[in-house]
Structure 1
Amino acid sequence: MQKTETSKQPLFFYGFVIVVIGTLGVWASVPGQTMGISTFTDPVKDALGLDRNEFSLAYAFGTIASSLLLGIAGRWFDIYGARKVATFAALGLALALAISSQSQVISAFILNILGIQSWVVPFVVMIICFFFIRFAGQGVLTLASRNMIMLWFDKFRGTVNAFSSIAVSLGFSISPLMINYLIEGNGWQKAWQIMALVLVLVSIVIYLLYRDSPEVMGLKPDGNLLKKNNKEKSDSERRQFTRGEALSTRAFWMYGLMLAFNGYFVTGLTFNIVSVFDSVGLTKADAISIFVPMSIISVITSFVFNAMSDFIKLKKLLYVMILGGIIDSLGLAFLSHSWGYYMLVAGSGIMGGMFAVLSSVVWPRFYGRKNLGAISGVSMQMIVFSSALGPFLFSSSLKFFGSYSVVALSGLIGLAIIAVFSVKADNPQ
């Protein structure tokens, strides 16, 4: 962890600034998140002459490739700190969007040189574009911003994460509407270019305001929020696990697999949401209507359980998330029934809210702060990798079995396995 930067102690606890600016950093990752990319699906695939399956497969390959490098990005965080890593991630995402806005031109240029007409060229171009967009956005920028907030707090991680998660959820929920507005008003190429310019400005703000840890400013986690007579172990007194030691514990894999399941299921559902509802005779309006109530449940769940996470065992929260996944899967399997719709909304909201809790507070509490980047980077690899498989497995369920019930019911088997093995997934501290 970087400790070379020094400055005078501020008049107020700088951690409050970190929460706000770190949340802004997570917001800025939207172009690299599923909801930020899915809005571009139809105009981009049509411009490049790709069908939906080809475009989804390019997305999957690019995302899988990006996930393979996130472990390295986690080590960058531990070595260089949040400030440098997040700044370069924001600039990298801006560059990736700028290049992606020219994907049609690039594809046409290559096809002209080769003297052929083939879907393979734009397919490969989009794999490369998705690789950089997903790596910089969903991966590095999100990891650095979220981990930085966690480094600044210890006893109050859950509480501050509650407020940050609400802001992130609200920002993510309205982002598809804002992006769609940009696309309709300016075209998909110009929309990506505008977002790239905004990210350049965000990178400047990140460089000016991000701080790697409280120690670099002569402060301690929680600042003066913690009562002096608090007798619980401080973060510095806990064992600081290495990446290898963390990966040898059952807790890492159970929490990591559950977070990965959320990435897989939510991405698969979101990417195919219109088709999912159409498969049971429901309209596009019905499909879109799911996001508002789902976001409300997710925000409430996140706020309540983030605050509770400071005082109760995280394994209880893990089982709440597993329960949300079960409800979600049953809702998808029986979506043709009216109660299936409500189960899908409730399950998605609960699971999404619990993801916001556990993806942030588990790793520093269980394994310490020293190697947080390397440890959380492996978890992020699992999440991104599984999110790449989601759209493909969902569409394959429809293609080969005629419905999405098969992928939903198979998910229940995975959840049951996680539930059984999580019984002894205790805090290794």
Structure 2
Amino acid sequence: MISFLLQNFRFLSFGFLLALASSFGQTFYVSLFSADIRAELGLSHGDFGVLYSSATLVSGFAVIWFGKQIDYVDLRIYACLVALVLALAAFALAMVPSGWPYLILPIFFFIRLCGQGLMMHTSITAMARYFHENRGRAIAIASLGLSLGEACLPLLTILLIGFMGWRDVWLLNAVLLSLVLIPAILFLLRGHSDRDARMNEQIKSQAAANLDVDEVRHWSRDEVVKDPAFYLLLPGLATLAFVVTGIFFHQIHIVTTKGWSMDWFAGTFTAYAATITISAIVAGSMVDRYGAIKLLTVHIPVFAFGLVFLVISDHAYAALIFMMLIGISVGFGSTTLSAFWAEAYGTKHIGAIRALAMSISVLASAISPALFGWMFDLGVSSEKVVIGCILWCLFAATCLWFSQRQILRRRLNTRIVPVI
């Protein structure tokens, strides 16, 4: 592991840094500003949830096209453009007039598209494409950037909002993205042209030799959407994005009804991030050893078990146990699923395929803020909402199991197929 880190330090740092920067578009971060934004712009829980969900929904469709472009655009240019647009969106949010609440709709669109969507997409796609033998470890290391953001940013952001106000915090974000992240991308990707040329030459040589290093043909996105196993994956792809986004977006409401302090719950994000880190590293090693397909069904049962604690107890430590268990699930699941696409469908079109998969997650994350908000406005308790999420988890885990069986059976029947 140490030698792997040293040999690939700059490229792994690039993936790590982009994953960290994606925090600015993640729900756990944006939701920290929800009370201040709603108060200043005069929005209810439901109104704010609808605006946020609508922006996320549209970004989920947009990421299908924008995410695909990483297969054709130089990685340096692509990553810098994503960072620049996210910086502009952060600046626009800081400047939104109090009398124009609906302006946050297009602003949230770009924050979600470039933050949650394309920033993380660029990080993980780069790791999955340019690593093979250590793909799981590379994805796990890059993903730790988001874990660091989840560990440090909630408490830090609450302190900064109290000290300088929510608008100035977003101005600071814009400065960091434009004046720190973009120069860092250009520095860390020096010499990337050589890496890309080596990968393309490898694919050509495999095609000429009638071999494929992934033991499957390189599926196109059009072929993937015709695969029955892909549709059985969809409930599992949507689960974590749907439930975690809904809970984190309405965390202030849930924490209040549970009788917990917001400072305490923000502090549990450290434990959440720590368990993500540990489980991602473990998952990376297991993926490299056993394969991502065989590990596909592990994370959702753990996630459902964590949700149980949110239902059965109002004790403060139930929040800690809940955050640790879903952290294990998120860390293991994100690493496994990120490696899964390259393992099951090849790497040649992985940008387009991952963009499609990410759009499913983004669309799921678009639904839950509005749905949860409407249910809370109607007086439905948080416990009943979470029970519904647990039932969905059982359904999603069953679908994943059937998909896994189909893909493993297919790989046993056709081990080596010509590259298309």
Within-5 A mapping of 1:131-280: 131-201=109-179, 202-210=181-189, 215-218=195-198, 235=213, 238-280=216-258
8 Å Cα contact 1:159/1:310 also seen in 2? yes
Residues 339 and 174 of structure 1: CA distance in aligned 2, closer, same or farther (over 3 Å): closer
Residues 292 and 206 of structure 1: CA distance in aligned 2, closer, same or farther (over 3 Å): closer
Within-5 A mapping of 1:49-88: 49-88=42-81
8 Å Cα contact 1:15/1:153 also seen in 2? no
8 Å Cα contact 2:76/2:185 also seen in 1? yes
**Superposed CA offset, 1:217-271 (max 9, x none):** 536899xxxxxxxxxx763664100102122334433444323210111111112
- 2:83 matches 1:90: yes
Aligned-partner Cα distance in 1 for 2:193–2:212 = 15
SS at match of 2:289: coil
8 Å Cα contact 2:16/2:123 also seen in 1? yes
**Superposed CA offset, 1:383-402 (max 9, x none):** 11111222222333333353
Q: Give the match for residue 35 of structure 1.
A: 28
Q: Under a length normalisation based on structure 2, what TM-score does the superposition of the two structures give?
A: 0.84
| Aligned partner (choices 370, 373, 385) of residue 348 of structure 2 | 370
Within-5 A mapping of 1:108-127: 108=99, 121-122=100-101, 124-127=102-105
Aligned-partner Cα distance in 2 for 1:331–1:316 = 28
Q: Report the CA distance between 1:348 and its aligned residue.
A: 1.1
Residues 126 and 152 of structure 1: CA distance in aligned 2, closer, same or farther (over 3 Å): same
Residues 339 and 95 of structure 1: CA distance in aligned 2, closer, same or farther (over 3 Å): closer
Q: Report the CA distance between 1:181 and its aligned residue.
A: 3.8
8 Å Cα contact 1:324/1:346 also seen in 2? no
Q: Give the match for residue 312 of structure 1.
A: 290
SS at match of 1:93: helix
Residues 270 and 221 of structure 1: CA distance in aligned 2, closer, same or farther (over 3 Å): farther
**Superposed CA offset, 1:57-85 (max 9, x none):** 21111111111101001221112142222
How many residues are aligned here? 393
Aligned-partner Cα distance in 1 for 2:193–2:300 = 33
Q: Give the match for residue 347 of structure 1.
A: 325
8 Å Cα contact 2:293/2:344 also seen in 1? no
Aligned-partner Cα distance in 1 for 2:38–2:394 = 37
Over the aligned positions, Cα root-mean-square deviation in angstroms equals 2.7
Q: Give the match for residue 15 of structure 2.
A: 22
8 Å Cα contact 1:165/1:303 also seen in 2? no
Q: For structure 2, which runs of at least 5 residues remain unmatched after alignment?
A: 203-210, 412-420
**Superposed CA offset, 1:275-304 (max 9, x none):** 223324444345334323222222221111
| One-letter amino acid of the counterpart of residue 140, structure 2 | A
Aligned-partner Cα distance in 2 for 1:272–1:293 = 19
Residues 189 and 284 of structure 1: CA distance in aligned 2, closer, same or farther (over 3 Å): closer
Q: Report the CA distance between 1:343 and its aligned residue.
A: 5.1
8 Å Cα contact 1:214/1:221 also seen in 2? no
Residues 89 and 362 of structure 1: CA distance in aligned 2, closer, same or farther (over 3 Å): same
8 Å Cα contact 1:257/1:382 also seen in 2? no
Residues 397 and 50 of structure 1: CA distance in aligned 2, closer, same or farther (over 3 Å): closer
| One-letter amino acid of the counterpart of residue 76, structure 1 | Q
Within-5 A mapping of 1:413-424: 413-424=391-402
8 Å Cα contact 1:67/1:135 also seen in 2? yes
8 Å Cα contact 2:45/2:377 also seen in 1? no
**Superposed CA offset, 1:46-104 (max 9, x none):** 22222333222211111111111010012211121422221111000011111111112
Residues 293 and 172 of structure 1: CA distance in aligned 2, closer, same or farther (over 3 Å): closer
| One-letter amino acid of the counterpart of residue 243, structure 2 | F
Residues 221 and 333 of structure 1: CA distance in aligned 2, closer, same or farther (over 3 Å): farther
Residues 243 and 219 of structure 1: CA distance in aligned 2, closer, same or farther (over 3 Å): closer
Q: Give the match for residue 295 of structure 1.
A: 273
| One-letter amino acid of the counterpart of residue 264, structure 1 | F
Q: Give the match for residue 227 of structure 1.
A: none
Residues 405 and 397 of structure 1: CA distance in aligned 2, closer, same or farther (over 3 Å): farther
Aligned-partner Cα distance in 1 for 2:74–2:15 = 13
Residues 292 and 298 of structure 1: CA distance in aligned 2, closer, same or farther (over 3 Å): same
| Aligned partner (choices 98, 101, 110) of residue 94 of structure 2 | 101
Q: Report the CA distance between 1:146 and its aligned residue.
A: 1.6
| Aligned partner (choices 331, 335, 341) of residue 357 of structure 1 | 335
8 Å Cα contact 1:87/1:203 also seen in 2? yes
Aligned-partner Cα distance in 2 for 1:298–1:282 = 23
Seq. identity, %:
27
**Superposed CA offset, 1:127-162 (max 9, x none):** 111011111111112211221122120011112223
Q: Give the match for residue 418 of structure 2.
A: none
| One-letter amino acid of the counterpart of residue 302, structure 1 | A
Aligned-partner Cα distance in 2 for 1:85–1:172 = 25
Residues 163 and 145 of structure 1: CA distance in aligned 2, closer, same or farther (over 3 Å): closer
Structure 1 residues 87-96 or 19-28, which shifts more?
A: 19-28
| One-letter amino acid of the counterpart of residue 33, structure 1 | Q
Structure number with the higher helix fraction is 2
Residues 214 and 145 of structure 1: CA distance in aligned 2, closer, same or farther (over 3 Å): farther
Aligned-partner Cα distance in 2 for 1:152–1:15 = 11
SS at match of 1:310: helix
- 2:380 matches 1:402: yes
